């Protein structure tokens, strides 16, 4: 047995006071006069013995009363099984990710149980203990140690967070504090397998106490991925939304009703059966009239796990494809005509002798039209543009300089043997991914254009278009960027390709596949930064994100690109409009990391084994608040005995009263 406050033992000196009083009272004598002293000696002996016994019993009761009263203030305890460090500094990590909304075995929410456990820790430890509360938000308030009242107040403000943290992220956050050498860390979490990530070992000065929150057996259905069949729907063309639904449970999700709403109006609905531990795919046809910024949302009912029953998508059809043409001296070419739709394309054309190389970085697609050769400075600028994932399509002149073009294109270019007669092109290979969704009807009887072959680069089995003799007409080469090479000049007399119905869809497909920094359909809250293309931004006023709350994230502007650092602790799942002054320039959709929807858990023993085991890691394998409170007391506070001491003090006080009242 030990005492929490042994300094109170000095009060035991007070036991001398009743002893002194009783000794003084023993020496006092009272003279009694009797008329007859015949029986005086016998009465005197009997009365003195009884009085002395009564005094001793009262003295003994009074001493025991004072003794146990003093011991009560010393707070005796049976020593704890484990001892906390001398620093009395406790770090509390409370996992408040969305998965903590699942139900535990006693049908309470995981976060509610975790907060009860945290509150128990704070209330049970001595008042001089200092605490640091860390949640997934990594808020600034978690940077310093707090008192018991401050921590209890912070607990009332904890809510489910859209941010999930890996084990290493939290461990690194705790390790940032070097001011306290010996730390006690209580890790209160559901120990999700999907979000733990790589494990790190703790240093020798830190003890880790795992408090697993175990859920009852539950299944969960969620949206795994979603994508558009045509990521860039030029001109509001036909498009299909493909959705992959995943079932993480042990039972089939039969006839799950999935609703698609666009701009808060139900656009479509479908029913799908998702097998257990598997996925199923479905699709939605999108309206061809969609334009501008559109909020798309998939929703379904999956009880009781509801935090991932909605999936947000930004259906943006406002970005223009930036086309840059470098031409010979012709005043206007067919390229300008095909990209003349100003609602879809931002087209600029320059004569090669009057071209500013700095414009290349702003283009999605560069069209080189009618050049017989490319001089060294322009060639170097174009090669640099290609190396930065740019896209170039090259139409040669009618009399190309083969040696010059071989160096620029970095291809085995030779002059075509037959240059006089036009040859007919072969039918497109409809199985080629390039032509996917280009033709509504795949007819083998389509009339094909003709062309004079002026360039040859050998056999290319992956060519997009070929002549009937199997020689390539249009090929794509991956040279960090995309290089498209055409075998003929885009001029009258050389080809009728530019007058053919095939020309526009081919050029549109090349342009749409060349879009750089295209806004994603959705982002996850685990991403650190995003790029946004924003043309013609004026002034230095930062862009604002307007969703449930208005946010001004950290941002950097580079030419017409804006790089945002994601403020994870401020974001929630849903939509955010990007606003410049009063103009909405884009729409972003954010969803939870899908790993958060995978509810498989580590047990405490499994987690301890992954962390290397040893005495530095302990486990609280409890399922209720009372059981946790009792185990905390037993392990770290010991068994308190002051209540028993107080009861004994009261008992001996009562004995003293009874002796005085009834012992005659």
User: Class assignment of domain 89-217+600-637?
Assistant: alpha beta
Give the pLDDT score at 29: 58
* Residue predicted with more confidence, 186 or 204: 186
The 3-state DSSP class for residue 116 equals helix
- The predicted pLDDT at position 187 comes to 93
Phi-psi region of 157 (alpha: psi -120 to 50; beta: other; left: phi over 0): alpha
Tokens describing residue 453: 């072959």
Nearest to 108 by CA among 116, 118, 119, 96: 116
Instruction: Give the pLDDT of residue 89.
Output: 82
**Is there a contact between 369 and 362 (Cβ–Cβ < 8 Å)?**
no
User: Is residue 34's pLDDT more than 70?
Assistant: no
What's the pLDDT score for residue 526?
83
Report the 10 Å Cβ neighbour count for 39: 9
**290 prior amide bond cis, ω within 30:** no
Angstrom distance (rounded) from CA 598 to CA 579: 35
Give helix 16-27 / helix 40-74 axis angle, nearest 10°: 170
Model confidence at 290, pLDDT cuts 50, 70, 90, reads confident
Segment 51-61, tens digit of pLDDT: 778 778 888 88
Rg (CA), the chain: 41
Q: How does pLDDT run across 473-526, given as a tens digit for each residue?
A: 999 999 888 999 999 999 888 899 998 888 988 998 888 878 765 568 899 988
Residue 440 has pLDDT above 90, yes or no: no
CA 624 vs CA 95, 99, 343, 469, 608: distances in Å: 17, 19, 62, 79, 21
Residue 559: C-alpha distances to residues 358, 362, 517, 534, 537 (Å): 11, 8, 13, 9, 9
CB atoms within 10 A of CB 489: 24
> Among the listed ranges 234-238, 499-503, 586-590, which one has the minimum average pLDDT value?
234-238
Q: What is the pLDDT of residues 63-99, one digit of tens each?
A: 898 898 888 888 887 776 666 554 568 899 999 999 9
- The two structure tokens encoding residue 44: 């005197």
Residues 488, 490, 494, 500, CA torsion sign: positive
Q: Which residue has the higher pLDDT, 254 or 77?
A: 254
- Domain locations in the chain? 2-79+644-662, 89-217+600-637, 321-512, 523-591
Look at residue 571 and give its three-state secondary structure. coil
- pLDDT category at 186 given cuts 50, 70, 90 is very high
Phi and psi at 376, nearest 5°, equal: -60, -50
Q: Between these two residues, 404 and 228, which has the higher pLDDT value?
A: 404
Which has the closest alpha carbon to 102: 170, 191, 190, 195?
A: 190
Residue pair 301/268 in contact (Cβ under 8 Å)? The answer is no
**Mean predicted confidence (pLDDT) in 114-120:** 91
Closest CA to 373 of 390, 348, 394: 394
In this predicted structure, what is the pLDDT of residue 393?
Answer: 95
d(CA 409, CA 477): 10
For residues 128 and 594, the model is more confident at 594
What is the third-level CATH fold of 321-512? Rossmann fold (3.40.50)
Of the ranges 31-40, 337-346, 441-450, which one carries the lowest mean pLDDT score?
31-40
Counting every residue written for the chain, the total comes to 664
User: CA-to-CA distance for 355 and 369, rounded, in angstroms?
Assistant: 13
Dihedral of CA 66/67/73/77: which sign? negative
Q: What is the 3-state secondary structure (H, E, C) of 309-354?
A: CEEEEEEEECCCEEEEEEECCCCCCHHHHHCCCCCCEEEEEEEHHH
Predicted local distance difference test score (pLDDT) of residue 95: 94
Among the ranges given (137-146, 437-446, 471-480), the one the predictor scored with the smallest mean pLDDT: 437-446
Q: Which two tokens stand for residue 372?
A: 């017989």
Confidence of residue 257 (pLDDT cuts 50, 70, 90): very high
Q: Beta partners for 262?
A: 265, 296
Q: Given a cut of 70, is residue 261 above it in pLDDT?
A: yes
Residue 40 has pLDDT above 70, yes or no: no
From the list 305, 136, 93, 105, the residue with the least C-alpha distance to 214 is: 105
pLDDT at 38: 57
Query: Between these two residues, 624 and 142, which has the higher pLDDT value?
Result: 142
pLDDT interval class at 128 (50, 70, 90): confident
Task: Indicate the average pLDDT of the chain.
Answer: 84
What percentage of the chain has pLDDT greater than the value 90?
31
Residue 143 has pLDDT above 60, yes or no: yes
Which tokens is 287 given? 């309206």
Q: Which residues contact 568 (CB under 8 A, 6 or more apart)?
A: 137, 138, 163, 525
Give me the pLDDT at residue 31, please.
63
Interval 606-627 mean pLDDT: 82
Residue 419's pLDDT is what?
Answer: 53
**pTM for the full predicted model:** 0.67
Of residues 291 and 244, more confidence is placed in: 244
Looking at beta carbons, which pairs linking 616-621 to residues 24 or more positions away fall under 8 Å? 616/202, 616/204, 616/206, 616/207, 616/208, 617/202, 617/207, 617/208, 617/209, 617/210, 618/82, 618/207, 618/208, 618/209, 618/210, 619/209, 619/210, 619/212, 620/117, 620/209, 620/210, 620/211, 620/212, 621/212
The Cα–Cα gap between 444 and 607 comes to 62
Say whether 653 sits in a helix, a strand or coil. helix
What the block records as the tokens of 237 is 């063309």
3-state secondary structure of 73: helix
Averaged pLDDT, 526-533: 83
**Does residue 168 carry a pLDDT above 70?**
yes
> Is the pLDDT reported for residue 178 higher than 60?
yes
Give the Cβ contact number of residue 621 at 10 Å: 14
Question: Do the domains 89-217+600-637 and 321-512 sit in the same CATH topology, yes or no?
Answer: yes
CB 533, CB 561: distance < 8 Å: yes
Q: How many whole angstroms separate alpha carbon 77 and alpha carbon 2?
A: 5
Q: Report the pLDDT averaged over residues 160-175.
A: 88
């Amino acid at each position: 047995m030990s005492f929490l406050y042994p300094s109170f033992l000095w009060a035991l000196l007070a036991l001398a006071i009743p002893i002194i009083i009783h000794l003084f009272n023993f020496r006092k004598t009272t003279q009694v006069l009797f008329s007859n002293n015949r029986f005086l000696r016998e009465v005197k002996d009997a009365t003195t013995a009884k009085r002395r016994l009564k005094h001793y019993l009262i003295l003994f009761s009074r001493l025991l009363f004072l003794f146990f009263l003093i011991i009560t203030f010393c707070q005796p305890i049976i020593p704890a099984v484990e001892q906390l460090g001398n620093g009395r500094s406790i770090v509390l990590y409370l996992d408040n990710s969305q998965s903590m909304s699942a139900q535990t075995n006693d049908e309470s929410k995981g976060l509610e149980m975790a907060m009860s456990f945290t509150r128990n820790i704070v209330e049970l430890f001595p008042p001089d203990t200092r605490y640091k509360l860390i949640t997934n938000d990594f808020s600034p308030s978690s940077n310093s140690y707090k008192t018991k009242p401050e921590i209890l107040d912070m607990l009332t403000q904890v809510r489910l967070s859209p941010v999930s943290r890996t084990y290493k992220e939290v461990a690194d956050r705790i390790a940032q504090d070097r001011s306290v050498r010996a730390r006690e860390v209580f890790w209160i979490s559901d120990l999700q397998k999907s979000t733990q990530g790589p494990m790190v070992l703790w240093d020798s000065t830190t003890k880790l106490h795992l408090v697993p929150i175990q859920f009852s057996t539950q299944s969960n259905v969620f949206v795994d991925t979603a994508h558009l069949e045509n990521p860039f729907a030029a001109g509001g063309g036909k498009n299909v939304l493909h959705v992959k639904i995943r079932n993480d449970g042990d039972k089939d999700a039969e006839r799950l009703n999935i609703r698609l709403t666009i701009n808060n109006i139900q656009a479509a609905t479908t029913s799908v059966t998702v097998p257990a531990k598997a996925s199923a795919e479905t699709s939605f046809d999108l309206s061809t009239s969609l334009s501008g910024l559109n909020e798309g949302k998939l929703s379904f009912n999956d009880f009781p796990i509801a935090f991932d029953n909605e999936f947000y998508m930004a259906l943006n059809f406002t970005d223009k494809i930036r086309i840059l043409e470098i031409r010979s001296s012709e005043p206007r070419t067919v390229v300008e005509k095909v990209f003349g739709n100003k609602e879809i394309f931002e087209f600029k054309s320059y004569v090669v002798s009057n071209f500013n190389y700095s414009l290349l970085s702003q283009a999605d697609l560069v069209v080189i039209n009618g050049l017989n050769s490319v001089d060294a400075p322009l060639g170097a600028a174009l090669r640099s543009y290609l190396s930065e994932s740019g896209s170039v399509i090259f139409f040669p002149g009618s009399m190309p300089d083969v040696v010059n073009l071989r160096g620029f294109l970095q291809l085995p270019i030779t002059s075509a043997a037959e240059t006089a007669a036009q040859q007919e092109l072969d039918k497109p290979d409809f199985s080629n991914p390039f032509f996917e969704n280009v033709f509504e009807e795949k007819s083998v009887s389509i009339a094909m254009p003709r062309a004079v072959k002026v360039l040859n680069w050998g056999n290319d089995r992956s060519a997009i278009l070929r002549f009937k003799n199997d020689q390539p007409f249009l090929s794509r080469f991956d040279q960090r960027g995309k290089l498209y090479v055409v075998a003929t000049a885009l001029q009258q007399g050389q080809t009728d390709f530019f007058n053919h119905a095939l020309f526009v869809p081919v050029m549109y497909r090349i342009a749409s596949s060349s879009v750089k920094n295209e806004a994603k359909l959705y982002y996850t809250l685990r991403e650190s930064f995003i790029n946004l293309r924003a043309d013609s931004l004026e002034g230095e006023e930062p862009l604002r994100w307007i969703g449930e709350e208005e946010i001004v994230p950290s941002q950097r502007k580079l030419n017409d690109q804006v790089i945002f650092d994601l403020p994870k602790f401020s974001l929630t799942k849903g939509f955010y409009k990007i606003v410049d002054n009063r103009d909405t320039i884009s729409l972003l959709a954010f969803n939870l990391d899908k790993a958060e929807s995978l509810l498989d858990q580590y047990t405490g023993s499994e987690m301890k084994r992954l962390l290397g085991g040893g005495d530095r890691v302990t486990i609280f394998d409890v399922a209720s608040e009372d059981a946790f409170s009792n185990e905390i007391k037993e392990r770290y506070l010991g068994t308190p005995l002051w209540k028993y001491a107080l009861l004994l003090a009261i008992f001996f006080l009562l004995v003293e009263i009874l002796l005085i009242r009834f012992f005659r």
